[in-house]
Amino acid sequence: MKFSCDKCGLCCRHVGDFPYMKDYDRGDGTCKHLTDENLCEIYENRPPICNTEMLYERFFSRFMTRDEYDQFNIESCERIKSSQNNRCDNAKHIN
């Protein structure tokens, strides 16, 4: 199964969670290059960490198959979405 980004923007809203992404944080944990349409202003020149194809070729291809890497990305994306949904659900219960 190939990983396919659905452009939800959630990973781009958590760059503040990673010290190596601090230069991209606009101050609230969101990437300063994320547009209101959940698109990347520097997509063609984005860093390798934001480019799943490049990241696999440069690093992960030595440690896992492409299928394993895609599955890892799918599961990571689902965890971010699940975490975000839980925060939204918890906020609904507070109100």
> Rounded to whole angstroms, how far apart are CA atoms 32 and 10?
13
> Rounded to whole angstroms, how far apart are CA atoms 10 and 77?
9
Tens of pLDDT, residue by residue over 22-77, are: 999 999 999 999 999 999 999 999 998 899 999 999 999 999 999 999 999 999 99
pTM of the predicted model, to two decimals?
0.76
Tens of pLDDT, residue by residue over 74-88, are: 999 999 899 876 554
